Structure 1
Amino acid sequence: MKKIVILTATRAEYGLLSPIIKKLNKEPEIDARVVATGAHLSPEFGMTVNEIKKDGIAIDKEIDILLNSDTPVAISKTMGLAMIGFADYFSECMPDAIMVLGDRYETLAVCVAALNAQIPIIHLHGGEATEGSVDEALRNAITKLSYLHFTSTDEYRNRVIQMGEAPERVFCVGALGVENALHTSFLSKAKLENSLKCHLGDKIAILTFHPVTLEENTAGIQISEIINAIIQHPEITFICTKANADVGGRIINEQLKICSDEFENVVLFDSLGMQRYMSMLAIADFVIGNSSSGIIEVPSFKIPTINIGDRQKGRIQASSVINCEPNKNDILEAIDKALSSEFKKKVKMSCNPYGDGNTSNKIVEITKKFLLENMLQVHKKFYDIK
């Protein structure tokens, strides 16, 4: 039997990985171990490890690494704690591979520990561009540490190959978020209101805004501009979820908390969980902020995305995405456009460029082949493009 560790450190990451975890758990020749770390274990970020447990998924290990601060020094120390904690875990567990998703700093630290332990790394969502965020550099570093790659589009696959990864180890499988969008069982509006303990009203928007980590000290200014815009629309219920544990994230969360205490139509949650989040998308009028979800999952719901600022700059986008600057007037113009009948018609005709919703099956089958046929390695040869 082959042993594989699946790493998850955030609520969004787990939501994407959950169909893979459930399918790997059904494979008799594979021992899948889930390790929860990072924001999952923080009361400040909603102790979202409990969402994993509610799904009936066993957690092999909880590794607490997150410091109670989001300064650059604290994040570097968190990465150090991740390397120490996972070095110990890998020496105990010694898996045949580890699967990671995306571009977070704690993921990079875990991958370095895995490489030192000679554990092959399987990477999801490589090759993507987010020019306004340090995540791009982290993602590319994780790509170079990894052996097996799953990308969400052909263009991203080509980028991974361009970075020296051999084509036979790089697979375009689409985005897991699209699969969740197409296959989640949605809650009714009444059940959502009961679960969230709030009245949703006739018009609904979902707001998620993260710090733009390559910009210095802009989080407070930008979230103020967003708040000053959304309070001009008391007829819209804004369902907000907290920012990630990145530099400046706590500033965003503090200002959203103050806003939600003052305005009845602004409601803040630590986390919605995947089913409630997808159910909200099914009834929402638009999504606003700078989350990758607005670019990847939301177009499948045929609703507009208002993408604010540079965090997602460089990602492939559907025609349903409205890009705007992080200032009040631009945001108000974008909201007017998202609510216009003309743009809504355009959105209904848009296509999601991130796949057909069969991603997890492809990932599981290819991973299984590489594991069972002993095709995963740590050492690799740089692939030169002819």
Structure 2
Amino acid sequence: MVSEPTVLVIYGTRPEAIKVAPVILAARDSKVAVKTLTTGQHPEMVAAVNEVFGIIPDASIDVMRPGQSLNALAARVLEGLDEKLAELKPDAIMVEGDTTTVMAAALAAFNSHIPVVHLEAGLRSGNLFLPFPEEANRRLAGQVASLHLAPTPASRANLLRENVDPKLIAVTGNTVIDALHYVVDSGQAGQGLAPEFAAALARDGLKVLVTAHRRESWGQPLHEMARAVRASADAHPEVTFLLPAHANPQVRETLTEVLAGAANVTIGDPQDYAAFAGLIKGVDLVLTDSGGIQEEAPALGKPVLVMRDTTERPEAIAAGTARLVGTTYESVHSALEGMLISQEARAVMSRAVNPYGDGHAAERVVAALEELLGVGKRLPDFAA
């Protein structure tokens, strides 16, 4: 009897874990066998996501060391995967997104003559250094991919401009929408939420979720963003701001230095995925420099102000679910004030159609994997 072809899903950070989870679940009833390997880039946060979805990794490596450089991290991923790829002998590997794990795992598989499947392929900001190092990571992974799983038609168009063979591209929608639906529908959204955030959500008045952590925001841009939030918090004591501060000391110190002491700003630790989904569900507005939240928040009808100068997710801007507001004090403060003052502005953005998915992306991904490995046929492309 011929065994099923095997796909090894490799992931290392929380965003990756969230977006591969629906594929892992959907593949259980497919014609391909899926094995999972975690690299340990975000070990505790990945473990929490795996628990939400009932996933137990088949293998793992331990790559994190205190204060290590990006090059050292990439080297540990490459070295660790050499042994694992030889041991597990997958017919293909799948990576998601644009982290150091993704770039290094794609290269490791390529060097071992194993086909690479890139989930969430084709995102481009147009600036190699923004976001850093993510823009370079996803471009490098794309160079060695045998199958590009683009989340949107715009992502497919980016790949075509780079001369990728159209037959190697499938438009799937983004699996982050599948994941969010799973957590909400299973009743897990908000489970494990820190008491301080639960209390903040219970207050009357508007509530704003604030997240900021990207590497290019460190330093002066992050200080400017924090100043803008503090000014609006002081001007609107009836509005509650919820800030799960990133664990990175550079990020946390900048944010707390500016925002500590504001009575209507609740600062706490990063929340597990299910708890964070509850935060998104419970607020009225999101202010962020994150990539994934630009996709998640619109799925729950939440307007998003993006504190960046460029975004690799222009679909949300075009659809009106998100607005790019820059990183200066003046630009962030002006945009935030406008949304706090105008109920109609919030309503218009919350009613816009989410261009990122319909909750069936994982089905399309699995069908594309089956076609790649010769045991099935892909489904029609997702149309936003």
TM bucket, shorter chain = 0.7 to 0.9
Q: Which residue of 2 aligns with 1:129?
A: 124
What is the rounded CA distance, in whole Å, between the counterparts of 1:180 and 1:32 in structure 2?
A: 18
**Residue 296 in 1 paired to residue 291 in 2?**
no
Gaps of 5+ in 1: 376-386
Q: Which residue of 1 aligns with 2:354?
A: 352
Q: Which residue of 2 aligns with 1:237?
A: 240
Contact 2:294-2:304 at 8 Å conserved across structures? yes
Residue 320 of structure 1: how far off its partner (Å): 2.7
What is the rounded CA distance, in whole Å, between the counterparts of 1:266 and 1:26 in structure 2?
A: 43
What is the rounded CA distance, in whole Å, between the counterparts of 2:112 and 2:191 in structure 1?
A: 47
1:188–1:24 distance in 2 versus 1, CA, 3 Å: closer
Q: How does 1:179-328 map to 2 (within 5 A)?
A: 179-185=178-184, 192=190, 195-198=193-196, 199-200=199-200, 201-202=203-204, 203-213=206-216, 219-232=218-231, 233=233, 234-243=237-246, 250-256=249-255, 262-263=261-262, 265-273=265-273, 275-310=274-309, 312=311, 315-316=314-315, 317=317, 318-328=319-329
- One-letter code of the match for 1:221? Q
Q: Any idea what the Cα deviations from partners look like across 1:146-196, whole Å, max 9, x if unmatched?
A: 00111111121122133232212201111122333445326989x848732
What is the rounded CA distance, in whole Å, between the counterparts of 1:62 and 1:260 in structure 2?
A: 38
SS of the residue corresponding to residue 356 of structure 2 reads coil
Residue 283 of structure 1: how far off its partner (Å): 2.0
Gaps of 5+ in 2: 378-384
| % identity of equivalent residues | 21
Q: Which moved more, 1:306-315 or 1:131-140?
A: 306-315
1:349–1:161 distance in 2 versus 1, CA, 3 Å: same
Q: Which residue of 2 aligns with 1:18?
A: 21
What is the rounded CA distance, in whole Å, between the counterparts of 2:183 and 2:51 in structure 1?
A: 18
Residue 372 of structure 1: how far off its partner (Å): 4.2
- One-letter code of the match for 1:129? R
1:194–1:210 distance in 2 versus 1, CA, 3 Å: closer
1:337–1:313 distance in 2 versus 1, CA, 3 Å: farther
Q: Any idea what the Cα deviations from partners look like across 1:102-140, whole Å, max 9, x if unmatched?
A: 111221111111111111111111111223213222211
SS of the residue corresponding to residue 184 of structure 1 reads helix
Q: Which residue of 2 aligns with 1:39?
A: 41
Q: How many residues end up aligned between the 2 structures?
A: 357
What is the rounded CA distance, in whole Å, between the counterparts of 1:33 and 1:240 in structure 2?
A: 36
Residue 212 of structure 1: how far off its partner (Å): 4.7
Q: Which residue of 1 aligns with 2:373?
A: 371
- One-letter code of the match for 2:162? M
- One-letter code of the match for 1:146? A
Q: Which moved more, 1:113-122 or 1:349-358?
A: 349-358
**Residue 59 in 1 paired to residue 60 in 2?**
no
1:187–1:356 distance in 2 versus 1, CA, 3 Å: closer
Q: Which moved more, 1:61-70 or 1:46-55?
A: 46-55
Contact 2:18-2:49 at 8 Å conserved across structures? no
What is the rounded CA distance, in whole Å, between the counterparts of 1:334 and 1:188 in structure 2?
A: 33
Q: Which residue of 2 aligns with 1:98?
A: 93
Q: Which residue of 1 aligns with 2:158?
A: 159
Contact 1:225-1:327 at 8 Å conserved across structures? yes
What is the rounded CA distance, in whole Å, between the counterparts of 2:38 and 2:239 in structure 1?
A: 35
SS of the residue corresponding to residue 118 of structure 2 reads strand
- One-letter code of the match for 1:322? R
Contact 2:103-2:140 at 8 Å conserved across structures? yes
- One-letter code of the match for 1:119? I
Q: Which moved more, 1:231-240 or 1:5-14?
A: 231-240
Q: Which moved more, 1:261-270 or 1:4-13?
A: 261-270
Residue 59 of structure 1: how far off its partner (Å): 0.9
Q: Any idea what the Cα deviations from partners look like across 1:4-36, whole Å, max 9, x if unmatched?
A: 111121112211211111121333x43311111
**Residue 7 in 1 paired to residue 6 in 2?**
no
Return the TM-score normalized by structure 2: 0.84
SS of the residue corresponding to residue 195 of structure 1 reads coil
Task: Give the aligned CA root-mean-square deviation in angstroms.
Answer: 2.7
- One-letter code of the match for 1:341? Q
Contact 2:193-2:276 at 8 Å conserved across structures? no
1:266–1:128 distance in 2 versus 1, CA, 3 Å: same
**Residue 362 in 1 paired to residue 364 in 2?**
yes
